[in-house]
Chains A and B, each alone.
Chain A
Amino acid sequence: MTVTTHPDYRYRPGPLHAMLLAGTVPLFLGALLSDIAYYNSFQIQWANFAAWLIAGGLLFAGLALLFALANLIGAQRKAGRPVVYLLLLLVTWVIGLINAFEHAKDAWAVMPAGLVLSAVVAVLAVITAWLGLSNLRSGGER
């Protein structure tokens, strides 16, 4: 992995990295949908689903974060899209963590902040995954 004939190689997520990163999208999106269902129905089970989906999203995003960090450390040019991707993933994870704490509140105390945060995190997850999975193009420009 130290040969650098193709500098952009290390920016491209490997299969596991890609799975983890892509997995954050349905998990955080699922949390958002569960929150919407709870908001509309008052059925507490949706709030439980949301809490676990967020926990799963954090686990996936956290592991993806480690991969992204390792890739960046190994990269020659530490700038551009890979850095933006890493930072976005970090922001997604931190806001996701805040959202997890928000969802640890009891019953309706989750609302409305939990719903808003879930929406923010879901959008961030989509953008981050998009960016992370299309990194291949970034290094080729130079």
Chain B
Amino acid sequence: MKTVSALTTLSMALLLGACGGEADTTLERGPDPKLPEPQRGLLPSMKIAEPAEWGDKLPTVPDGFSITAIATDLKIPRQTLVLPNGDILVAEGRGGNAAKLKPKDVIASYIKAQGNTKVKGGNRLTLLRDADGDGTYETQTVFAENLNAPYGLAFHEGNLYVANQDAVVRFDYQDGQTQASGEPAKVTDLPKEINHHWTKAMTISPDGRYLYVGIGSNSNIGERGMEVEADRALVWQIDAESGMHKPYATGLRNPTALTIQPETGQLWAVVNERDELGPDLVPDYLTSVQEGKFYGWPYAYWGQNADTRVQPHKPEMVDITIKPDYALGSHVAALGVDFSIPEMGEQFANGVFVGEHGSWNRDNPVGYKVIFVPFADGRPAGEPIDFATGFRGEDGKTRGRPVGVTVDPKGALIIADDLSNTIWRVTRNQ
């Protein structure tokens, strides 16, 4: 922290160009966010999470709800999946090993690492079971190991799909299993070179025919060259049986979580947008993913706002960029999304939960919570509601960082927290 503030102070002292001036910024959210002009001081604004233990503290949830830690001491839990019998699978790991190309990469990766767990990723799936239904998950056992930074999880009729950082694999699954019966079969390789954004988000179509996998860009804004961006920043549609695949939608910088809208079968995603354009650019977003459409990265953001940091620039790509549905706020780092169900109570019956890992590129930190975006007529409608907060305390310390969120059909929200290595479960009080 001292290094960061010293650097920030230094940048202020040097005061070349537009520095600071971020005190009064607000978090623009919703379908039509006001976007300021891009700005970048001599140094990017950085405020890294200061990790602390939970101790007796708990995240804050709305009145009428309770939150408990149902699993602790995991090895970087990211995404979760509720199996038909109510067991919960947790994907644990940390991927990516992008080469550091500039002095900046060396320094920035060190600084950002201060805000993350020091635990080594598990590269495994952990199974949690609450056999008697009392809300205590008394069984915590390793379901499968030796995976490669597993992240996306999907299930359909006895097929358990896992998106590693380099491939989609499939396990045969029988109800009640606590351990995989063997090595998984590979469905298809995934783009894995560099893996600057390594998380491979995944969901499956309701009929089980297609897998959708989110493949993040290999850079913030093309600073590793555009050659390495082939097959990146897009969502693949993969035939689950054959592994054949095609780009389903493109220009999505880092689609970190995918889910299917139950009543329509429509694919939705949360996407993390680019950094270093100022505290209020560019909004991360929630969007329905339209087949064949281009969402802008790297040439444009939030519709047809050109980003000239990538050269040679392609105005024709700016022209075909479509606008996403709903801004979640710049730098919140949305990493989880799932549709709610009526069992979550009247206020939260219709909409999506979004897990926000929290910002680094902003003096006034944002995210670090789980929000609820209400829907009406199948579209986002209205202001987001805080659902689980307190991950970043008022004392400025960060105790947890939400990643995946999964709605349990029994009427609970499962939250993976990759800083305290905990799985949280939010339930309604009966």
Closest residue on chain A to residue B298 by CB atoms: A107
Closest residue on chain B to residue A54 by CB atoms: B103
- Do B42 and A98 have beta carbons less than 8 Å apart? yes
Closest residue on chain A to residue B308 by CB atoms: A108
- Do A104 and B103 have beta carbons less than 8 Å apart? yes
- Do A42 and B309 have beta carbons less than 8 Å apart? no
Q: Which residues of chain B from 307 to 326 have a CB within 8 Å of any chain A CB?
A: 308-312
Q: Specify which of A94, A97, A101, A108 is in contact with B309 (CB 8 Å cutoff).
A: A108
CA distance A42 to B313 in the complex (A): 10
Q: Specify which of B16, B42, B310 is in contact with A107 (CB 8 Å cutoff).
A: B310
Interface size on A, residues (CB 8 A): 24
Q: A51-B102, A107-B309 are in contact. Are A44 and B223 (CB under 8 A)?
A: yes
- Do A103 and B223 have beta carbons less than 8 Å apart? no
Which residue among B16, B43, B102 has the maximum number of chain A CB atoms within 10 Å of its CB?
B102
Closest residue on chain B to residue A101 by CB atoms: B42
Q: Quick check: is A76 within 8 A (CB to CB) of the other chain?
A: no
Closest residue on chain B to residue A102 by CB atoms: B42
- Do B221 and A106 have beta carbons less than 8 Å apart? yes
Interface size on B, residues (CB 8 A): 24
Residues of A within 8 A of B14 (CB): 94, 97-98, 101
Q: Quick check: is A105 within 8 A (CB to CB) of the other chain?
A: yes
- Do B102 and A42 have beta carbons less than 8 Å apart? no
- Do A42 and B312 have beta carbons less than 8 Å apart? yes
- Do B310 and A108 have beta carbons less than 8 Å apart? yes
Residues of B within 8 A of A97 (CB): 14
Inter-chain contact count A-B, CB under 8 Å? 62
Per-position contact with A for B40-54: 1 when CB-CB < 8 Å, else 0? 101100000000000
**Shortest Cβ distance from B430 into chain A, in angstroms?**
51
- Do B104 and A104 have beta carbons less than 8 Å apart? yes
Q: Quick check: is B225 within 8 A (CB to CB) of the other chain?
A: yes
- Do A100 and B276 have beta carbons less than 8 Å apart? no
- Do B225 and A44 have beta carbons less than 8 Å apart? yes
Instruction: List residues of chain B with CB under 8 Å of any chain A CB.
Output: 11, 14, 16-17, 40, 42-43, 101-104, 219-225, 276, 308-312
Instruction: List residues of chain A with CB under 8 Å of any chain B CB.
Output: 42-45, 47-48, 51-52, 55, 94, 97-98, 100-109, 111, 113
Further pairs besides A100-B103, A106-B221, A107-B222: 19, Cβ < 8 Å:
A44-B222, A44-B223, A44-B225, A51-B104, A52-B103, A98-B14, A98-B42, A101-B14, A101-B42, A101-B43, A103-B102, A104-B43, A104-B102, A105-B276, A106-B219, A106-B223, A107-B221, A108-B311, A109-B309
22 A-B residue contacts at CB 8 Å? A43-B225, A44-B223, A47-B102, A47-B223, A48-B101, A51-B103, A51-B104, A98-B42, A101-B42, A101-B43, A104-B43, A105-B309, A106-B220, A106-B223, A107-B223, A108-B309, A108-B311, A109-B221, A109-B276, A109-B309, A111-B311, A113-B17
